Amino acid sequence: MTLETEVQSLRQVPMFKDIDPARLKLLAFTSERVQFAGGQRFFAQGDMSDAAYVILDGRAHVMLDTAHGEIKVADLGHNALVGEMGILSDSPRSATIVAAEQTTALRIDKRVFLELLAQFPQIALAVMRELADRLERTNAQLAAQSKA
């Protein structure tokens, strides 16, 4: 797997889909490709947010600490982006991510990501658009729930 395939993966991520190929390449190049063994944690709930991950290969579980112990709330698969909210809002991790099997992910360092945002308005706009979309979806869901 090379930089090119990573760029392909990044392109599948909604947040990055409109970004120039050259910029995506830079994002991939400045990131690290890391492998997690099955059961190894990407990060734990409450940790400092230092990076976001794009899953290139494999699967991961999203786990939440609750009063009844750790429960699985979601599954992440190919091309999923995780941990980006933490680095954008500078808040601790809101959930634990555990590799479900041997998983390869692209680790986007927080500092580098923020520098890219500062340097390229295009990337910043793409991120804003994605966040706005999410907000709208959440609003729609809330509206649907309150109707129900």
Partner 1 sequence: MEKSLFRYIWQHSRREQLLVCAVVLVSQPFYFFSLDLPRRIVNEAIQGQAFRDGQTTATFLRLTLDWPAWLGGGSIELFQGFQVGRVGLLFGLSTLFLVFVLINGAFKYWINVAKGALGERMLRRMRFQLFSMVLRFTPDALRTVKSSETATIIKDEVEPIGGFIGDAFITPAFLGFQALTALIFIIVQNAALGLMALAVIAVQFTVIPRLRRELLKLGRERQLASRELAGRIAEVMDGMEVVHVHQSQSWEKAEIGHRLFDLFDLRLQIYNRKFMVKFLNNLLAQMTPFFFYAIGGYFALRGTLDIGQLVAVINAYRELPPPLKELIDWDQQRLDVQVKYDQVVQHFTPERLLPEHEIETVEDVPLVGTMQAKDLVITDTHGSTLIENVSFEIKLPAHVALISDGAAAASSVARIIAMQVPSFSGSLLLNDHDLRLLSPSIIGRRLAYAGVDPIMFPGSIRDNITYGIRCKPNGNFDAAKREEVRRIAEALRTGNPVESISSDWLDYGLVGAKDADDLDRIMIDLLNRVGMERDLYRFGLAGQLDPERYPDMAGRIVEARRRLRVTFQANGMADLVEPFDIHRYNDQATIAENLLFGVPTSEAMTGRNLAQNTEFRRTLDRAGIHDDLTEMGLQIAETMTEIFEGIPPGHSLFQQFSFIDADEIDDFEEILRRHARGPLTKDDEIRLLGLPLAYIEARHRLGLLDNSLRMRFVRARGLVREMLEFGGNPGVDFYDPDKLCAAAPLRDNLLFGRVSYNIANARERVAQAISAVVGELGLLESIERIGLDHQVGTAGRLLDAQQRAGVNLVRCLVKKPDIFVLDGALTSFDEGRAQMLIGVLSEVCEGRSLFMVLPNDRQAEAFDILVRFRKGRVTTEERHPTVLGKSGVSEGERMAGGVV
Residues in contact with partner 1 by CB under 8 A are: 1-4, 6, 22-23, 25-26, 28-30, 32-36, 40, 42, 104-105, 107, 112, 115-116, 119-120
Which is nearer to partner 1, 15 or 43 (by Cβ)? 43
C-alpha distances (whole Å) from 130 to each of 12, 38, 68, 71, 94 are 13, 30, 33, 28, 19
Q: Kindly state the smallest distance separating residue 62's Cβ from partner 1, in Å.
A: 17
Which is nearer to partner 1, 67 or 96 (by Cβ)? 96
Which is nearer to partner 1, 98 or 127 (by Cβ)? 98
Q: Kindly state the smallest distance separating residue 72's Cβ from partner 1, in Å.
A: 20
Q: Kindly state the smallest distance separating residue 24's Cβ from partner 1, in Å.
A: 9
- Of all helices (H) and strands (E), which one includes residue 114? helix 110-119
Supply φ then ψ for residue 100, to 5 degrees.
Answer: -85, -25
DSSP state of 64: E
d(Cα 39, Cα 101) in Å, to the nearest integer? 7
Q: Kindly state the smallest distance separating residue 50's Cβ from partner 1, in Å.
A: 12
- Contact between residue 90 and residue 49 where contact means Cβ atoms under 8 Å apart: yes
Which is nearer to partner 1, 42 or 130 (by Cβ)? 42
Which is nearer to partner 1, 119 or 138 (by Cβ)? 119
C-alpha dihedral sign at 74, 132, 114, 26? positive
d(Cα 76, Cα 62) in Å, to the nearest integer? 7
